[in-house]
Chain A
Amino acid sequence: MTSHYIDWIWKIRGNLALAPGQTGDDAFDRLDPLFRQSGTAHKRTGKTLTFQKKDQDAQDKMSVFDDGILRIEQRGAEAVLRYQLTSRALLFCFLAPLLFLAIGQLTLVVGKYQKSSHEASDTKKPAIKKPDVPMNPIDKALGAPAPDKPKKDGSKPEGRNKKPSATTAYVFAGIFAALYLVGRILEDRLIKGLFKKRLFGL
Protein backbone atom coordinates (compact mmCIF):
# COMPACT_ATOMS: atom_id res chain seq x y z
CA MET A 1 0.00 0.00 0.00
CA THR A 2 1.38 3.38 -1.00
CA SER A 3 2.16 5.69 1.84
CA HIS A 4 0.40 9.04 1.81
CA TYR A 5 3.74 10.53 2.87
CA ILE A 6 5.18 10.06 -0.59
CA ASP A 7 2.30 9.59 -3.00
CA TRP A 8 1.59 13.34 -3.04
CA ILE A 9 4.43 13.37 -5.56
CA TRP A 10 2.21 11.84 -8.24
CA LYS A 11 -1.28 12.10 -6.75
CA ILE A 12 -3.41 15.19 -6.54
CA ARG A 13 -6.16 15.21 -3.94
CA GLY A 14 -8.79 17.78 -3.24
CA ASN A 15 -12.39 18.41 -2.36
CA LEU A 16 -15.08 20.80 -3.41
CA ALA A 17 -18.33 21.51 -1.57
CA LEU A 18 -21.29 21.09 -3.91
CA ALA A 19 -23.87 23.85 -4.24
CA PRO A 20 -26.71 23.63 -1.70
CA GLY A 21 -29.26 21.14 -2.94
CA GLN A 22 -26.98 19.77 -5.67
CA THR A 23 -27.11 15.98 -5.80
CA GLY A 24 -24.24 13.62 -6.52
CA ASP A 25 -25.89 12.53 -9.77
CA ASP A 26 -26.22 16.13 -10.92
CA ALA A 27 -22.55 16.80 -10.08
CA PHE A 28 -21.37 13.74 -12.02
CA ASP A 29 -23.64 14.67 -14.94
CA ARG A 30 -21.97 18.07 -15.09
CA LEU A 31 -18.50 16.52 -14.96
CA ASP A 32 -19.42 13.85 -17.49
CA PRO A 33 -18.04 15.63 -20.64
CA LEU A 34 -14.57 15.61 -19.06
CA PHE A 35 -14.59 11.82 -19.20
CA ARG A 36 -15.92 11.53 -22.74
CA GLN A 37 -12.53 12.26 -24.29
CA SER A 38 -10.44 10.14 -26.59
CA GLY A 39 -8.57 7.38 -24.73
CA THR A 40 -10.70 7.77 -21.58
CA ALA A 41 -12.78 5.04 -19.94
CA HIS A 42 -15.00 5.82 -16.96
CA LYS A 43 -17.44 4.07 -14.67
CA ARG A 44 -20.09 5.46 -12.35
CA THR A 45 -21.31 3.37 -9.47
CA GLY A 46 -23.56 5.23 -7.07
CA LYS A 47 -21.59 8.02 -5.52
CA THR A 48 -18.25 7.00 -7.00
CA LEU A 49 -16.77 7.72 -10.41
CA THR A 50 -13.55 6.09 -11.56
CA PHE A 51 -11.68 6.77 -14.79
CA GLN A 52 -8.62 5.59 -16.69
CA LYS A 53 -6.83 7.30 -19.55
CA LYS A 54 -4.46 5.90 -22.16
CA ASP A 55 -2.71 7.89 -24.91
CA GLN A 56 -4.84 10.87 -23.95
CA ASP A 57 -4.92 13.84 -26.34
CA ALA A 58 -2.42 16.61 -25.75
CA GLN A 59 -5.29 19.09 -25.49
CA ASP A 60 -7.44 16.93 -23.20
CA LYS A 61 -7.97 19.20 -20.20
CA MET A 62 -7.15 16.26 -17.92
CA SER A 63 -4.28 14.95 -20.06
CA VAL A 64 -1.84 15.09 -17.16
CA PHE A 65 -3.85 12.43 -15.26
CA ASP A 66 -3.90 8.71 -16.00
CA ASP A 67 -6.55 7.51 -13.58
CA GLY A 68 -8.52 8.68 -10.59
CA ILE A 69 -11.46 8.34 -8.22
CA LEU A 70 -14.12 10.96 -7.55
CA ARG A 71 -16.53 10.45 -4.64
CA ILE A 72 -19.52 12.36 -3.33
CA GLU A 73 -19.43 12.33 0.46
CA GLN A 74 -21.85 13.75 2.95
CA ARG A 75 -20.36 16.12 5.53
CA GLY A 76 -23.21 17.02 7.83
CA ALA A 77 -25.72 18.88 5.72
CA GLU A 78 -23.46 19.56 2.77
CA ALA A 79 -22.31 17.22 0.00
CA VAL A 80 -18.66 17.29 -0.95
CA LEU A 81 -16.85 16.09 -4.06
CA ARG A 82 -13.59 14.42 -3.07
CA TYR A 83 -11.10 13.47 -5.73
CA GLN A 84 -7.81 11.64 -5.95
CA LEU A 85 -6.04 11.75 -9.32
CA THR A 86 -2.88 9.94 -10.38
CA SER A 87 -0.38 11.48 -12.76
CA ARG A 88 2.51 9.53 -14.28
CA ALA A 89 3.69 12.81 -15.87
CA LEU A 90 4.21 14.34 -12.42
CA LEU A 91 6.11 11.28 -11.23
CA PHE A 92 8.21 11.29 -14.39
CA CYS A 93 9.05 14.97 -13.94
CA PHE A 94 9.90 14.36 -10.28
CA LEU A 95 12.33 11.58 -11.24
CA ALA A 96 13.78 13.35 -14.30
CA PRO A 97 16.33 15.35 -12.25
CA LEU A 98 17.75 12.06 -10.92
CA LEU A 99 18.07 10.77 -14.47
CA PHE A 100 19.94 13.90 -15.57
CA LEU A 101 22.19 13.80 -12.51
CA ALA A 102 23.05 10.22 -13.47
CA ILE A 103 23.71 11.33 -17.06
CA GLY A 104 26.01 14.06 -15.65
CA GLN A 105 27.99 11.41 -13.77
CA LEU A 106 28.12 9.24 -16.88
CA THR A 107 29.46 12.21 -18.85
CA LEU A 108 32.31 12.60 -16.36
CA VAL A 109 33.19 8.91 -16.55
CA VAL A 110 33.07 8.93 -20.36
CA GLY A 111 35.13 12.17 -20.42
CA LYS A 112 37.81 10.55 -18.30
CA TYR A 113 37.88 7.48 -20.53
CA GLN A 114 38.08 9.61 -23.70
CA LYS A 115 40.84 11.77 -22.25
CA SER A 116 43.01 8.78 -21.47
CA SER A 117 42.37 7.14 -24.85
CA HIS A 118 43.02 10.45 -26.70
CA GLU A 119 46.28 10.93 -24.84
CA ALA A 120 47.34 7.48 -25.96
CA SER A 121 46.30 8.00 -29.59
CA ASP A 122 47.47 11.64 -29.96
CA THR A 123 51.05 10.51 -29.84
CA LYS A 124 50.53 8.55 -33.03
CA LYS A 125 48.34 11.05 -34.93
CA PRO A 126 50.04 13.99 -36.65
CA ALA A 127 48.57 17.38 -35.72
CA ILE A 128 46.16 18.84 -38.28
CA LYS A 129 47.95 21.68 -39.98
CA LYS A 130 45.56 23.90 -41.88
CA PRO A 131 47.01 26.12 -44.62
CA ASP A 132 47.23 29.81 -43.84
CA VAL A 133 44.73 31.18 -46.37
CA PRO A 134 44.35 34.98 -46.60
CA MET A 135 40.91 36.45 -45.93
CA ASN A 136 38.67 36.83 -48.93
CA PRO A 137 38.84 40.45 -50.23
CA ILE A 138 35.02 40.76 -50.00
CA ASP A 139 35.10 39.92 -46.26
CA LYS A 140 38.00 42.31 -45.77
CA ALA A 141 36.13 45.10 -47.58
CA LEU A 142 32.99 44.46 -45.50
CA GLY A 143 35.06 44.71 -42.31
CA ALA A 144 34.82 41.16 -40.89
CA PRO A 145 37.41 40.54 -38.13
CA ALA A 146 40.39 38.48 -39.27
CA PRO A 147 40.49 34.96 -37.84
CA ASP A 148 42.83 34.28 -34.91
CA LYS A 149 46.16 32.66 -35.71
CA PRO A 150 46.34 29.02 -34.59
CA LYS A 151 47.63 28.77 -31.01
CA LYS A 152 51.26 27.76 -30.65
CA ASP A 153 50.51 25.25 -27.92
CA GLY A 154 48.32 23.37 -30.41
CA SER A 155 45.18 23.63 -28.24
CA LYS A 156 41.95 23.52 -30.19
CA PRO A 157 39.68 26.55 -30.29
CA GLU A 158 36.22 26.22 -28.71
CA GLY A 159 33.98 24.65 -31.31
CA ARG A 160 31.64 21.85 -32.17
CA ASN A 161 34.23 19.24 -31.16
CA LYS A 162 34.04 20.41 -27.56
CA LYS A 163 33.88 17.47 -25.16
CA PRO A 164 30.55 16.76 -23.45
CA SER A 165 30.18 18.65 -20.20
CA ALA A 166 28.37 17.46 -17.06
CA THR A 167 27.17 21.02 -16.43
CA THR A 168 24.54 20.70 -19.17
CA ALA A 169 23.06 17.61 -17.52
CA TYR A 170 23.02 19.37 -14.14
CA VAL A 171 21.26 22.36 -15.69
CA PHE A 172 18.57 20.05 -17.06
CA ALA A 173 18.26 18.40 -13.64
CA GLY A 174 17.58 21.88 -12.24
CA ILE A 175 15.09 22.70 -15.01
CA PHE A 176 13.09 19.53 -14.29
CA ALA A 177 13.13 20.13 -10.55
CA ALA A 178 11.69 23.62 -11.18
CA LEU A 179 9.21 22.23 -13.72
CA TYR A 180 8.03 19.67 -11.17
CA LEU A 181 7.32 22.36 -8.57
CA VAL A 182 5.48 24.46 -11.15
CA GLY A 183 3.51 21.47 -12.42
CA ARG A 184 2.58 20.16 -8.99
CA ILE A 185 1.10 23.54 -8.00
CA LEU A 186 -0.27 24.49 -11.42
CA GLU A 187 -2.03 21.20 -12.23
CA ASP A 188 -3.56 21.11 -8.73
CA ARG A 189 -5.05 24.55 -9.28
CA LEU A 190 -6.06 23.91 -12.88
CA ILE A 191 -8.01 20.75 -12.07
CA LYS A 192 -9.75 22.40 -9.15
CA GLY A 193 -10.65 25.33 -11.40
CA LEU A 194 -11.87 22.96 -14.11
CA PHE A 195 -14.11 21.01 -11.70
CA LYS A 196 -15.47 24.28 -10.28
CA LYS A 197 -16.20 25.59 -13.77
CA ARG A 198 -18.09 22.41 -14.70
CA LEU A 199 -19.96 22.14 -11.41
CA PHE A 200 -20.94 25.75 -10.89
CA GLY A 201 -20.55 27.19 -14.37
CA LEU A 202 -18.07 29.80 -13.05
Chain B
Amino acid sequence: MDGIRVGKRIIGAQSPVTIGWENIPKVQGGPVKQFVFTYFQPVVLFALIAFWFYAPNSIAKASTAIGIHIGFTVLLLGLEWVNPRYESWRLTWKELVTDLFYVGLGYTLLRIVDSFIGSDVMVEAIQHSIHWDKFAWFMGLPLLLQAFLISFLFDFGQYWMHRGMHNWYPLWLPHSVHHYITQLNVNKGAVGNPVELFLIGLGIGGFFDFLPRAALLAGAFGMAIGTYQHINVRFNSPRWWRFLFNTTEHHSLHHSQDYEASRSNFSGSYIFIDRMFGTCVDGEAELLGMEGGRRMSIREQMTYPFTEGWKTIKERFGSRPVAVPAE
Protein backbone atom coordinates (compact mmCIF):
# COMPACT_ATOMS: atom_id res chain seq x y z
CA MET B 1 0.00 0.00 0.00
CA ASP B 2 1.31 3.41 -0.97
CA GLY B 3 -0.96 5.52 1.20
CA ILE B 4 -2.12 9.06 0.44
CA ARG B 5 -0.20 12.22 1.20
CA VAL B 6 -2.20 14.51 3.52
CA GLY B 7 -0.10 17.56 4.36
CA LYS B 8 3.24 16.21 5.51
CA ARG B 9 1.88 12.78 6.40
CA ILE B 10 1.26 9.57 4.47
CA ILE B 11 -2.10 8.16 5.53
CA GLY B 12 -3.18 4.61 4.74
CA ALA B 13 0.20 2.99 4.13
CA GLN B 14 -0.54 0.21 6.63
CA SER B 15 -4.28 -0.27 6.21
CA PRO B 16 -6.79 0.89 3.58
CA VAL B 17 -8.49 4.24 4.15
CA THR B 18 -10.62 6.55 2.02
CA ILE B 19 -9.48 10.17 1.93
CA GLY B 20 -11.57 13.11 0.70
CA TRP B 21 -15.34 13.62 0.90
CA GLU B 22 -15.75 13.13 -2.85
CA ASN B 23 -14.57 9.52 -2.47
CA ILE B 24 -16.93 8.57 0.36
CA PRO B 25 -19.97 6.48 -0.65
CA LYS B 26 -23.43 8.06 -0.50
CA VAL B 27 -26.63 6.66 1.00
CA GLN B 28 -28.16 4.16 -1.41
CA GLY B 29 -31.91 3.78 -1.94
CA GLY B 30 -35.05 5.73 -2.83
CA PRO B 31 -35.68 9.46 -2.40
CA VAL B 32 -37.35 9.07 1.02
CA LYS B 33 -34.41 7.13 2.43
CA GLN B 34 -31.94 9.62 0.92
CA PHE B 35 -33.94 12.52 2.41
CA VAL B 36 -34.11 10.97 5.86
CA PHE B 37 -30.42 10.11 6.04
CA THR B 38 -29.39 13.52 4.70
CA TYR B 39 -31.40 15.69 7.08
CA PHE B 40 -31.68 13.45 10.15
CA GLN B 41 -28.64 14.87 11.96
CA PRO B 42 -29.42 18.62 11.60
CA VAL B 43 -33.13 18.11 12.27
CA VAL B 44 -32.40 16.25 15.53
CA LEU B 45 -29.89 18.91 16.58
CA PHE B 46 -32.24 21.85 15.95
CA ALA B 47 -35.23 20.01 17.44
CA LEU B 48 -33.28 19.35 20.64
CA ILE B 49 -32.10 22.95 20.82
CA ALA B 50 -35.70 24.17 20.42
CA PHE B 51 -36.93 21.68 23.03
CA TRP B 52 -34.41 22.64 25.70
CA PHE B 53 -34.74 26.34 24.91
CA TYR B 54 -38.52 26.42 25.32
CA ALA B 55 -39.29 23.53 27.70
CA PRO B 56 -40.94 24.72 30.94
CA ASN B 57 -38.71 24.57 34.01
CA SER B 58 -40.70 21.63 35.35
CA ILE B 59 -39.61 19.57 32.30
CA ALA B 60 -36.13 21.01 31.74
CA LYS B 61 -34.46 18.61 34.18
CA ALA B 62 -31.59 16.12 34.09
CA SER B 63 -34.03 13.19 34.34
CA THR B 64 -35.72 14.34 31.10
CA ALA B 65 -32.29 14.51 29.45
CA ILE B 66 -31.54 10.93 30.53
CA GLY B 67 -34.88 9.78 29.14
CA ILE B 68 -34.22 11.52 25.81
CA HIS B 69 -30.73 10.03 25.69
CA ILE B 70 -32.06 6.50 26.17
CA GLY B 71 -34.77 7.02 23.54
CA PHE B 72 -32.25 8.50 21.10
CA THR B 73 -29.87 5.56 21.61
CA VAL B 74 -32.66 3.05 20.88
CA LEU B 75 -33.60 5.03 17.76
CA LEU B 76 -30.00 4.99 16.55
CA LEU B 77 -29.76 1.24 17.14
CA GLY B 78 -32.80 0.97 14.85
CA LEU B 79 -31.08 3.11 12.22
CA GLU B 80 -28.00 0.87 12.43
CA TRP B 81 -30.28 -2.03 11.58
CA VAL B 82 -31.96 -0.23 8.66
CA ASN B 83 -29.03 1.53 7.05
CA PRO B 84 -25.65 0.18 8.16
CA ARG B 85 -22.52 1.92 6.97
CA TYR B 86 -20.69 -1.42 6.77
CA GLU B 87 -22.06 -4.97 6.99
CA SER B 88 -18.78 -5.83 8.71
CA TRP B 89 -19.80 -3.61 11.64
CA ARG B 90 -23.14 -5.32 12.28
CA LEU B 91 -24.16 -5.41 15.92
CA THR B 92 -24.23 -8.94 17.33
CA TRP B 93 -25.62 -10.13 20.65
CA LYS B 94 -22.11 -10.48 22.08
CA GLU B 95 -21.09 -6.99 20.94
CA LEU B 96 -24.27 -5.51 22.42
CA VAL B 97 -23.65 -7.23 25.76
CA THR B 98 -20.03 -6.05 25.84
CA ASP B 99 -20.97 -2.47 24.96
CA LEU B 100 -23.82 -2.32 27.48
CA PHE B 101 -21.56 -3.67 30.20
CA TYR B 102 -19.35 -0.60 29.77
CA VAL B 103 -22.37 1.70 29.52
CA GLY B 104 -23.55 0.17 32.82
CA LEU B 105 -20.16 0.70 34.46
CA GLY B 106 -20.19 4.32 33.27
CA TYR B 107 -23.61 4.97 34.77
CA THR B 108 -22.89 3.25 38.08
CA LEU B 109 -19.36 2.44 39.25
CA LEU B 110 -17.67 5.35 37.48
CA ARG B 111 -20.29 7.73 38.91
CA ILE B 112 -19.33 6.57 42.40
CA VAL B 113 -15.65 7.19 41.63
CA ASP B 114 -16.53 10.56 40.06
CA SER B 115 -18.42 11.57 43.18
CA PHE B 116 -15.12 11.34 45.10
CA ILE B 117 -12.45 12.48 42.65
CA GLY B 118 -14.19 13.58 39.43
CA SER B 119 -14.59 16.97 37.78
CA ASP B 120 -17.76 17.82 39.68
CA VAL B 121 -15.95 17.51 43.02
CA MET B 122 -13.22 19.85 41.84
CA VAL B 123 -15.77 22.26 40.38
CA GLU B 124 -17.76 22.28 43.62
CA ALA B 125 -14.61 22.92 45.62
CA ILE B 126 -13.71 25.88 43.40
CA GLN B 127 -17.26 27.20 43.44
CA HIS B 128 -17.07 27.50 47.21
CA SER B 129 -14.04 29.76 47.04
CA ILE B 130 -14.76 32.20 44.21
CA HIS B 131 -16.43 35.55 43.99
CA TRP B 132 -19.56 34.81 42.01
CA ASP B 133 -20.09 38.42 41.02
CA LYS B 134 -17.04 38.09 38.75
CA PHE B 135 -18.98 35.57 36.63
CA ALA B 136 -22.19 37.57 36.37
CA TRP B 137 -21.15 38.55 32.82
CA PHE B 138 -21.23 34.85 31.81
CA MET B 139 -24.65 34.29 33.34
CA GLY B 140 -25.92 37.32 31.43
CA LEU B 141 -24.90 35.90 28.03
CA PRO B 142 -27.58 34.47 25.71
CA LEU B 143 -28.43 30.89 26.69
CA LEU B 144 -27.23 29.35 23.44
CA LEU B 145 -23.89 31.11 23.68
CA GLN B 146 -23.47 29.90 27.27
CA ALA B 147 -24.34 26.38 26.16
CA PHE B 148 -21.90 26.49 23.27
CA LEU B 149 -19.11 27.82 25.50
CA ILE B 150 -19.73 25.10 28.10
CA SER B 151 -19.60 22.33 25.49
CA PHE B 152 -16.71 23.95 23.61
CA LEU B 153 -14.63 24.25 26.78
CA PHE B 154 -15.30 20.62 27.60
CA ASP B 155 -14.45 19.51 24.07
CA PHE B 156 -11.33 21.69 23.96
CA GLY B 157 -10.11 20.03 27.16
CA GLN B 158 -11.05 16.62 25.81
CA TYR B 159 -9.15 17.33 22.57
CA TRP B 160 -5.90 17.94 24.45
CA MET B 161 -6.47 15.06 26.86
CA HIS B 162 -7.16 12.76 23.90
CA ARG B 163 -4.18 14.09 21.94
CA GLY B 164 -2.07 13.63 25.06
CA MET B 165 -3.25 10.04 25.27
CA HIS B 166 -1.93 9.42 21.78
CA ASN B 167 1.41 11.06 22.53
CA TRP B 168 2.37 10.14 26.06
CA TYR B 169 2.84 6.46 26.87
CA PRO B 170 1.38 6.45 30.43
CA LEU B 171 -1.83 7.99 29.06
CA TRP B 172 -1.77 5.85 25.92
CA LEU B 173 -1.81 2.64 27.98
CA PRO B 174 -5.35 3.10 29.35
CA HIS B 175 -6.60 4.68 26.11
CA SER B 176 -5.16 1.94 23.87
CA VAL B 177 -7.87 -0.46 25.07
CA HIS B 178 -10.55 1.68 23.39
CA HIS B 179 -8.59 1.39 20.13
CA TYR B 180 -8.97 -2.38 20.14
CA ILE B 181 -12.64 -2.06 19.12
CA THR B 182 -13.00 -3.43 15.61
CA GLN B 183 -16.31 -1.86 14.64
CA LEU B 184 -18.32 1.25 15.47
CA ASN B 185 -21.75 0.94 17.06
CA VAL B 186 -23.86 3.33 19.10
CA ASN B 187 -22.54 2.30 22.52
CA LYS B 188 -18.90 1.73 21.50
CA GLY B 189 -17.90 5.12 22.88
CA ALA B 190 -18.33 3.63 26.34
CA VAL B 191 -15.92 0.74 25.70
CA GLY B 192 -12.52 1.15 27.26
CA ASN B 193 -10.48 0.65 30.38
CA PRO B 194 -12.25 2.36 33.31
CA VAL B 195 -9.11 4.43 34.07
CA GLU B 196 -9.35 6.00 30.61
CA LEU B 197 -13.10 6.50 30.86
CA PHE B 198 -12.49 8.44 34.07
CA LEU B 199 -9.70 10.53 32.54
CA ILE B 200 -11.60 11.44 29.37
CA GLY B 201 -14.55 12.59 31.49
CA LEU B 202 -12.44 15.19 33.26
CA GLY B 203 -13.11 18.73 32.18
CA ILE B 204 -13.88 22.22 33.35
CA GLY B 205 -17.06 22.58 31.30
CA GLY B 206 -19.09 21.87 34.42
CA PHE B 207 -17.62 24.92 36.10
CA PHE B 208 -19.77 27.14 33.89
CA ASP B 209 -23.01 25.24 34.53
CA PHE B 210 -24.49 28.27 36.26
CA LEU B 211 -27.88 27.96 34.65
CA PRO B 212 -29.42 24.46 34.50
CA ARG B 213 -30.98 25.23 31.11
CA ALA B 214 -27.60 26.19 29.63
CA ALA B 215 -26.07 22.96 30.96
CA LEU B 216 -28.91 20.91 29.48
CA LEU B 217 -28.47 22.66 26.12
CA ALA B 218 -24.74 21.93 26.26
CA GLY B 219 -25.55 18.27 26.94
CA ALA B 220 -27.89 18.30 23.94
CA PHE B 221 -25.05 19.61 21.73
CA GLY B 222 -22.86 16.75 22.92
CA MET B 223 -25.59 14.18 22.35
CA ALA B 224 -26.74 15.42 18.94
CA ILE B 225 -23.18 15.79 17.61
CA GLY B 226 -20.76 13.61 19.55
CA THR B 227 -22.89 10.46 19.44
CA TYR B 228 -22.18 10.04 15.71
CA GLN B 229 -18.52 9.35 16.41
CA HIS B 230 -19.35 5.72 17.15
CA ILE B 231 -22.25 4.52 15.03
CA ASN B 232 -22.77 2.15 12.14
CA VAL B 233 -25.09 4.30 10.04
CA ARG B 234 -24.41 5.82 6.62
CA PHE B 235 -25.47 9.49 6.52
CA ASN B 236 -25.11 12.09 3.79
CA SER B 237 -24.02 14.67 6.34
CA PRO B 238 -24.38 18.21 4.94
CA ARG B 239 -21.15 19.94 3.96
CA TRP B 240 -21.39 22.54 6.78
CA TRP B 241 -22.03 19.76 9.32
CA ARG B 242 -18.93 17.78 8.44
CA PHE B 243 -16.84 20.99 8.34
CA LEU B 244 -17.85 21.93 11.88
CA PHE B 245 -18.65 18.65 13.59
CA ASN B 246 -16.99 15.31 14.20
CA THR B 247 -18.60 12.57 12.10
CA THR B 248 -18.48 8.79 11.92
CA GLU B 249 -16.20 9.22 8.91
CA HIS B 250 -13.68 11.28 10.90
CA HIS B 251 -13.78 8.96 13.86
CA SER B 252 -13.54 5.76 11.83
CA LEU B 253 -10.31 7.15 10.43
CA HIS B 254 -9.17 7.79 13.99
CA HIS B 255 -9.87 4.12 14.80
CA SER B 256 -8.23 2.84 11.61
CA GLN B 257 -5.63 0.08 11.77
CA ASP B 258 -3.37 2.59 10.02
CA TYR B 259 -1.10 4.25 12.59
CA GLU B 260 -0.89 7.67 10.91
CA ALA B 261 -4.66 7.81 10.38
CA SER B 262 -5.23 7.06 14.06
CA ARG B 263 -3.23 10.16 14.95
CA SER B 264 -5.94 12.47 13.60
CA ASN B 265 -9.42 13.74 14.53
CA PHE B 266 -9.03 13.93 18.32
CA SER B 267 -11.98 16.14 19.24
CA GLY B 268 -15.24 14.75 20.58
CA SER B 269 -17.83 17.04 18.98
CA TYR B 270 -16.19 19.99 17.24
CA ILE B 271 -13.90 18.84 14.43
CA PHE B 272 -13.01 22.49 13.80
CA ILE B 273 -10.74 22.20 16.85
CA ASP B 274 -8.76 19.61 14.89
CA ARG B 275 -8.82 21.91 11.88
CA MET B 276 -7.44 24.72 14.09
CA PHE B 277 -4.52 22.59 15.22
CA GLY B 278 -3.83 20.77 11.94
CA THR B 279 -4.89 17.30 13.06
CA CYS B 280 -8.08 16.96 10.99
CA VAL B 281 -8.18 14.44 8.14
CA ASP B 282 -11.43 14.14 6.16
CA GLY B 283 -12.07 10.54 5.20
CA GLU B 284 -13.16 7.17 6.53
CA ALA B 285 -11.96 3.62 7.21
CA GLU B 286 -13.63 0.23 7.51
CA LEU B 287 -10.81 -1.85 8.99
CA LEU B 288 -10.47 -0.75 12.59
CA GLY B 289 -8.50 -1.77 15.64
CA MET B 290 -4.99 -2.69 16.70
CA GLU B 291 -2.71 -5.67 16.01
CA GLY B 292 -4.42 -6.35 12.69
CA GLY B 293 -7.91 -6.13 14.19
CA ARG B 294 -7.52 -8.49 17.17
CA ARG B 295 -10.66 -8.32 19.30
CA MET B 296 -9.82 -7.95 22.98
CA SER B 297 -11.84 -9.77 25.64
CA ILE B 298 -13.37 -7.81 28.54
CA ARG B 299 -10.93 -9.48 30.94
CA GLU B 300 -7.95 -8.26 28.93
CA GLN B 301 -9.53 -4.81 28.51
CA MET B 302 -9.58 -4.52 32.29
CA THR B 303 -5.99 -5.60 32.86
CA TYR B 304 -4.13 -4.58 29.68
CA PRO B 305 -2.88 -1.12 30.77
CA PHE B 306 -1.43 -2.58 33.95
CA THR B 307 0.11 -5.73 32.44
CA GLU B 308 1.57 -3.77 29.52
CA GLY B 309 2.83 -1.06 31.85
CA TRP B 310 4.47 -3.67 34.06
CA LYS B 311 6.10 -5.33 31.05
CA THR B 312 7.50 -1.98 29.91
CA ILE B 313 8.84 -1.16 33.37
CA LYS B 314 10.49 -4.58 33.58
CA GLU B 315 12.05 -4.16 30.15
CA ARG B 316 13.40 -0.73 31.01
CA PHE B 317 14.48 -1.21 34.61
CA GLY B 318 14.54 -4.97 35.09
CA SER B 319 17.69 -7.05 35.42
CA ARG B 320 19.49 -7.28 32.14
CA PRO B 321 20.54 -10.72 30.86
CA VAL B 322 24.14 -11.56 31.61
CA ALA B 323 26.23 -11.30 28.45
CA VAL B 324 27.52 -14.66 27.30
CA PRO B 325 30.86 -14.47 25.57
CA ALA B 326 30.88 -15.74 22.02
CA GLU B 327 32.62 -19.04 21.53
Contact = CB atoms under 8 A, between A and B. Distances in A.
A129 interface: yes
B142 interface: yes
Interface residues of B, number: 54
B297 interface: yes
A182 interface: yes
A182 B63 CA distance: 28
A172 B182 contact: no
Given A144-B54, A182-B93, A176 B132 contact: no
B143 to A, nearest CB: 5
Interface in A115-160: 125-126, 128-131, 133-134, 136, 138-139, 142-145, 147-148, 157-160
B94 A130 contact: no
A55 B295 contact: yes
Contacts of B206: 160
B296 interface: yes
B167 interface: no
B128 interface: yes
Contacts, number: 140
Interface in B13-65: 53-57, 60-63
A161 interface: yes
A201 B141 CA distance: 67
A134 B295 CA distance: 54
A100 B108 CA distance: 8
A96 B101 CA distance: 8
Size range of the chain A interface in the assembly? 35 or more
Interface in B284-326: 293-298
B252 to A, nearest CB: 15
- Tell me the dominant secondary structure on chain A's binding face: loop
A81 B294 CA distance: 31
B213 A147 contact: yes
Interface string B120-154: 10001001100011001001111100000000000
Given A59-B88, A92-B298, A145-B56, A159 B212 contact: yes
Given A55-B295, A130-B139, A136-B142, A107 B108 contact: yes
B260 interface: no
A158 B63 CA distance: 8
Contacts of B112: 103, 106-107, 110, 164
B211 to A, nearest CB: 6
Contacts of A147: 57, 211-213
B107 interface: yes
A160 B104 contact: no
Interface of A: 38-39, 55-59, 63-64, 88-89, 92-93, 96, 100, 103-104, 106-107, 110, 114, 125-126, 128-131, 133-134, 136, 138-139, 142-145, 147-148, 157-164, 168-169, 172, 175-176, 179, 182-183, 186-187
The 10 closest A-B pairs by CB, nearest first: A172-B104, A133-B139, A138-B142, A169-B108, A164-B111, A136-B142, A103-B108, A131-B136, A89-B94, A64-B94
10 contacts: A64-B94, A92-B298, A110-B115, A136-B141, A139-B143, A158-B63, A164-B111, A168-B107, A172-B100, A175-B100
